[in-house]
Each structure stands twice: as C-alpha cells, then as structure tokens.
Structure 1
Amino acid sequence: MGILLALGSSVLYGLADYLGGILSRRGSFVAIALVGQVTGLVFSLVAVLLLPEVAAGPEDLAWGALSGVGTGLGMLFLYRGLSRGHMSVVVPISAVGGVALPILVGVALLGERPSVLSWLGIAAAVPAIWLVSRVRGPSGSGSAAATTDALVASMAIALQYTALAQAGPDAGLWPIVTGRVAATLVLVPVALRARQRRISVRLTLGAAAVGVMATLALLLYLLATQVQLMTVAVVLSCLYPVIPVLLGITVLHERVATHQVVGLLAAGAAVVLITVG
C-alpha cells in the first residue's frame, strides 16, 4: 500500500509541476505559487474538518510547519527557474536533489536500512529521473540563473519531504495544514515586496488546481511514509518527471528520444525492485 501511495503522490506532483511551470511562464511565478499554497491551505482545512478528529501533538505540527517552509521556498525557486529556463534543466536538478538528500538523511541520521533490492531500485531511480527529464531545447535554455534556482529548489524540496516524514501517524492531516500555513507565510512577504501585477482569472483558477493537486500529493506521501521507509517513499514520489514525458507521448503524440526510453525503462525497473524489496 505504501508503494501505491507514493506512486500516486508522484503522479499528482508530476501533473502539478507541469501545469505550474506552464502557468509561471504566462504570469507572475510568485502569484502562481502563492495562490497554489492558499488554495492548498483552504482545501486541507476543509479535509481535516470533515475527517474524524485527531490529536496532533506540538512536535507533529512543528514538523509540518518546517515542511511547509521547504514547500514555499521550493515552489518559489522552482517556478522562477521554470519561468526563465528550460524544463529539461530545472526539473531533473530539483528532482534528483530532492530525492538524494532525504536518502542520505534517512540512512545516516534516522537509521533506515533499505533492503538490497530496494537499494538497487534507488540506484536505478536517480538516473532514471534525469534521463526522462532530458529533452532537447534551444541553445542557452539551461541558463546559470535557472540552474541555481533548481539547486535551491532541490534543497527546499528535500526539506519538505524529510520534515513531513517525521510527523507521527496519529497526527492526521494537521501537519499538512500547518505546512500550508508556513508556506503561505513564506510567500506573502515575497509577493508584497515584488508588487507583481494581478494574474488573470484563468491563471488564478489554474494555480488553484495546482495547489489542490500538490496538497493531495503531499497527503499521499505522508500516508506512504507511515507504512514505508522514507528512503523508499521519497524515491517513488520523486519519479514525477516521468509524468510530463508520458503526457507528451500519449496525449500530444510527441516523439520520444532514445535516452528518455532508457529512463522510462529504468524507472519501471526501479519500481519493480523497490516493490519486490
């Protein structure tokens, strides 16, 4: 069950990041990120009020808030990178960094010990994420500024995943709620200082949809970490770059490069190895 939850998180994040990247090129990336987090906050509050009451402890709420700081910073730098750089550069760097750092934390600090097969799956997943995300773009698309944004986003995403995984199983959705509050508080000062122009109703609705999908993705990841090692859950959740490529092949009938086929096969092998392990 934990594997399915993590894979579901990956699908939702793939859809959310792809749509968020498109929207950030059509309007203010700060506004897109802020609307997404505010919508996610409202959605998570409604969900937590509809579910049976739980008693989340102060530590659970604190871990959720710390995760939200990573979310806010991650979305801010990810969307800025996507607004001025090529997705083939920004996405793989943010995804690989986002998966590698939590693995190191899980093994070195939390004492997690994945099985041999799971380690093989993890080893296959990291290059798979990179290969799938690599698409040909115009020269100069991988600017130094966009690459820097992607590196910062990767560290923030790693914080998001690592902190959220520390919330207890009895906390319910409250860590998600406090995370959305923290993410919003991170983005509001940036939006006020930037004084960005208002985005259109269409972009606002799109950003709201991104916020709901991203919140659901975090919820599935949180549930996955409660029944699965964080090192395994975060690897599967970070396979999200596969989704834009699959959408391009199946919906837009785009041609796929050889290295992307290799990446898709490696991703499939990684899922099988982790599942068996």
Structure 2
Amino acid sequence: MFSVILGLTGALVYGAADFFGGIAAKRISALKVTAIGAASGLVLLLLLLPVTGGTWSVEAVTLGALSGISGALAISLLYACLAIGPMSILSPLTAVISAMVPLTAGVLRGDRLPPLGYLALGLALIAVVLVGFVPDRKAVRPSAKALAMAVGAGSLIGVFLIVIDLTPSDSGVVPLIANRTVNATLMFTTIGVLAALASRRARRSDAAVRADAAGSTTASTSASSGPASSPASTPGRLARWSPGLRLAVVGGTLDATANVLILLGLRAGDLSIMAVLTAMYPAGTIILAAVLLKERITPTQGIGLVLALTAAAMLALI
C-alpha cells in the first residue's frame, strides 16, 4: 500500500510540474524551461543527499546518466509532438505508452499480480486515457510524424522508469543526481549551440545589409545607433523572462520531488504497478488548472479521475 501512495502522489506532483512548466513555456521557450528545471531540480537533490544518504558507485552513476539521456530525449519529443497536436489525442497516447513499456518489462521480469491487480491496472490505463482526453470538435487527426513522436516520447519515459528501477537499492538519490546533471548539461549545451548558430546567422545577415548599404548616410547612422540600444534592451528582456524563470524553477523542483517519490515507490513495490500509477500524471495538471485557472473539468475527465482513484484503491488492497 505504501508504494501505491508514493506512486499516486508522485504522479500528481509530476502533473503539477507539467502545469507550471507549461505556463513557463508560454513566457520563455520550452527548451529554456527544461534546462532551468533540470538545474533547479539538481540543486534540490544535492540538498537532499546529506539527509537521504546514498552510496556512490559506477552502476548508480551510469544508470542515472542513462536515465538522464532518455529523459532529455523524452521531454524534447513530448514538447515537439504536443506543439504539432492535437494534444487531446497525443497527450493520453504518450501517457499510455509510458505505462505499457515498463509494464511489459515488469511482467517479463517476473512481476505477478492477483486477478484484482490486473483488473486495477486495466482500469488505471482507461483512466489515463479519459483524464488526458480533452474533446475538441475542431481537432484534426494527428499526422504520422506527431504519432511517431508521441510513441517515442512515451517509450523513452518508460525507459527512464525501467533504468531507474535497476539502480542499486543503497544508492539513495545518487542516480537522480546523475540524471539531472546529464539532463541539464544536454539542455544548456543545446541552448548554447542554437544561440551560437542564431548569432552567426544574424552577423551574416547584418554584414550583408551593411555591404548593400555601404556609403549610405542612413546606414551609417543605423550602424552607429544599433550597438547602443543593445544594453538598454537587456534589462527589458530579463524583466520579461523573470516570471517564466520563476515558474520554470518551481516546475523543476516539483519534477525532482516527483522523481524521488517514484524512486522510493519503485524500491518499495513492483515496476508494473508504479509504471501505471505514474502515467496518471495528467490528473495533477487538470486539477491545478481547475483550481488556479478555473478551467472546467469535462465529464469525461471526471469519470477518469474517479476510475483512477478506484484503481489506486484496488492496488492498495493487493
């Protein structure tokens, strides 16, 4: 029962992290949100290390690093497919795939449940679809590219759970620290490379404009005034990014907290059960959206939430 509580709580916290991360992505780019979230989560885990303890080993660090790579790729694909849409189909599809991959791995590794347990897992998977489904009459069918990205994102999230489950039981949060270090490094490196490429393109474009306008008084005036305006614009950019940065930090801290809860749940229970419970993360998002943004929970989502709680209660009984 303890593992079920950890799994369900972790899923709700994951959903809350997605909620704040999604709002932050509307203010700054999703890539920056992911990078900042990874860094803030790393800070939290480092603060927890003296409290939770953990043995550093090659296995713990290696598996943690591998989970960081799969997590970074999963998030990138998830944001990309949701940007293409429709979210009402791709979001629950990703969640179901993220549950099915480790669920299958757990069964192949020998996880066995009583009939009530399998019934609960079936109800939970149905709940995932209903909670994540937002009816939209104008929604178009997803493209093959978007479907492939959703399947890829869900599979990689499942791989993350499988790899974390393989970490040594005495490693504490060490694998998660390795995970966040790799994740943050990959994200900030990507941001740096993209910024360098954008800067190079801008310099080439500026050089071409200057060449075309050589000898022009207007061009000369523009060239002399351009650099002077850059410093003045920097505080403005920082002011615009500030709310997004704060939300990204909150989202990253919540995501790291959810990772800790899921890790503890995996060590206390079965991978199969934890995988399905974790896939209920959309519930946390829609509950926060209803409370803070006053968004209406649809009847379909309401049924999904009831089924999710029913499935969790059934799993707690086995």
The TM-score normalised by the length of structure 2 is 0.79
Give the Cα separation in 1 of the matches to 2:31 and 2:259: 20
Instruction: Kindly provide the CA deviation profile for residues 138-197 of structure 1, in whole angstroms up to 9, marking residues without a partner as x.
Output: 624664354443222111111111110111221111011011112123323422333279
Whichever residue aligns with residue 268 of structure 2, its letter is: V
1:135 matched residue in structure 2: 134
2:182 matched residue in structure 1: 182
Deviation at 1:244, TM superposition (A): 2.4
Q: Is the 8 A contact 2:7 2:265 kept in 1?
A: yes
2:71 matched residue in structure 1: 71
Identify if the C-alpha distance between structure 1 residues 270 and 74 changes in structure 2 by more than 3 Å, giving closer, same or farther: same
**Which protein is bigger by CA-based radius of gyration?**
2
Q: Is the 8 A contact 2:24 2:245 kept in 1?
A: no
Give the Cα separation in 1 of the matches to 2:137 and 2:28: 22
Unaligned runs of 5+ in 1: none
Identify if the C-alpha distance between structure 1 residues 205 and 252 changes in structure 2 by more than 3 Å, giving closer, same or farther: closer
Instruction: Kindly provide the CA deviation profile for residues 34-56 of structure 1, in whole angstroms up to 9, marking residues without a partner as x.
Output: 111111112211221x3264323
Instruction: Kindly provide the CA deviation profile for residues 215-260 of structure 1, in whole angstroms up to 9, marking residues without a partner as x.
Output: 1101000001111011111211221111223334445444433322
Q: Is the 8 A contact 1:242 1:264 kept in 2?
A: yes
Identify if the C-alpha distance between structure 1 residues 99 and 31 changes in structure 2 by more than 3 Å, giving closer, same or farther: same
Q: Which moved more, 1:170-179 or 1:247-256?
A: 247-256
Give the Cα separation in 2 of the matches to 1:158 and 1:224: 15
**Aligned positions of 1:121-132 closer than 5 A:** 121-132=120-131
Q: Is the 8 A contact 1:21 1:79 kept in 2?
A: no
Is 2:275 the counterpart of 1:276? no
Identify if the C-alpha distance between structure 1 residues 273 and 55 changes in structure 2 by more than 3 Å, giving closer, same or farther: same
**Aligned positions of 1:169-208 closer than 5 A:** 169-195=169-195, 200-208=241-249
Give the Cα separation in 2 of the matches to 1:132 and 1:212: 24
Identify if the C-alpha distance between structure 1 residues 183 and 237 changes in structure 2 by more than 3 Å, giving closer, same or farther: same
1:18 matched residue in structure 2: 19
What is the number of equivalent residue pairs in this alignment?
A: 275
Q: Is the 8 A contact 1:2 1:224 kept in 2?
A: yes
State the identity %. 26
1:264 to 301, 305, 309: 305
Identify if the C-alpha distance between structure 1 residues 189 and 249 changes in structure 2 by more than 3 Å, giving closer, same or farther: closer
Q: Is the 8 A contact 2:7 2:278 kept in 1?
A: yes
2:272 to 226, 231, 244: 231
Whichever residue aligns with residue 304 of structure 2, its letter is: G
2:114 matched residue in structure 1: 115
Give the Cα separation in 2 of the matches to 1:146 and 1:240: 21
CA RMSD of aligned residues (A): 2.3
Q: Which moved more, 1:253-262 or 1:98-107?
A: 253-262
Q: Is the 8 A contact 1:9 1:217 kept in 2?
A: yes
Unaligned runs of 5+ in 2: 200-236
Q: Is the 8 A contact 2:103 2:272 kept in 1?
A: yes
Whichever residue aligns with residue 207 of structure 1, its letter is: A
Q: Which moved more, 1:226-235 or 1:241-250?
A: 241-250
1:45 matched residue in structure 2: 46
Greater per-residue helix proportion: 2
Give the Cα separation in 1 of the matches to 2:124 and 2:163: 22
Q: Is the 8 A contact 1:81 1:147 kept in 2?
A: yes
Deviation at 1:213, TM superposition (A): 0.5
Deviation at 1:111, TM superposition (A): 1.6
Q: Is the 8 A contact 2:25 2:244 kept in 1?
A: no
Identify if the C-alpha distance between structure 1 residues 52 and 143 changes in structure 2 by more than 3 Å, giving closer, same or farther: closer
1:247 to 284, 288, 293: 288
Q: Which moved more, 1:124-133 or 1:81-90?
A: 81-90
Whichever residue aligns with residue 40 of structure 1, its letter is: G
The TM-score normalised by the length of structure 1 is 0.90
